[in-house]
Amino acid sequence: MLTESTKSRISVCVLAAGKSLRFGASKPIAEWRGKPLLHYALAAADGACAGPVVLVVGHNQDAVIKTAAGRFDRVVINRDYEDGIGTSIAAGVRAVHENVDAVVIMLADQALVTATHIGNIIKAWSGADNEIVASSYDATTGPPILFPSKAFDLLCNLTGDTGARAVLADENFAVRLIDCPPAGFDIDTPEDLKTLDDG
């Protein structure tokens, strides 16, 4: 188990590589309340822990990187992004797995997730290398999710569009759930963004 001092060796990977097909444009650069959605996610990641913030890009990568405006410590280009979100998780974890004890995976369009929410996930982690801490919302388990070092090999080999569900279901890991309703707001269409703005 890690001590409080070493628990700071945590990276947050913000996934912004997808094609956003249902949205019709790159979601990370879409604006909400005067700022790109991506800025909210990066600010939450940066405010949550001292470890590196990794931005994973793929589709429309130049525009996404430009929109991020340096609000990250490292950018990773996922050239296999069309094969699904699993490849983005793998690319992000590969970039940091040798230097951290845990990785938090979050999505670029989770604009309502704050540094406090991510911080609660990090604080809930015991430091055990077989304990995953996931967000819980609407009877669903999903990102932001903290994965410990024991999961890194599995994460680095993910493919397809099912994300890390297989890792969450792996009996070698205990999953602790943290209530995080803001993570449940799914922005798939421009109408969803308008609903978010109206709210």
From first to last of its 199 residues, what are the pLDDT tens digits of the chain? 343 444 558 999 999 998 765 665 678 888 888 889 899 999 999 988 778 999 999 999 999 999 999 899 999 999 999 999 999 999 999 999 988 999 999 999 888 999 999 999 999 999 999 999 999 988 888 899 999 999 999 999 999 888 899 999 999 999 999 998 888 777 777 677 777 655 5
**How far is the C-alpha of 141 from the C-alpha of 119, rounded, in Å?**
17
pTM of the model: 0.90
Q: Which residues pair with 140 in a beta bridge?
A: 137
So what's the pLDDT on residue 30? 85
Do 12 and 55 contact (CB within 8 A), yes or no?
no
Tell me which CATH code domain 7-198 carries.
3.90.550.10
DSSP-assigned letters across all residues of 141-171:
EEEEEEEEGGGHHHHHT--SSSTTHHHHH-T
The predicted structure's pLDDT at residue 4: 43
DSSP at 176: E
Residue 58: per-residue pLDDT:
94
Q: To 5 degrees, how large is the angle CA 119–CA 122–CA 123?
A: 85
Task: State the pLDDT at residue 29.
Answer: 86
E strands in 43-194: 53-57, 74-77, 102-107, 131-137, 140-148, 174-179
**What residue ranges do the domains of the chain occupy?**
7-198
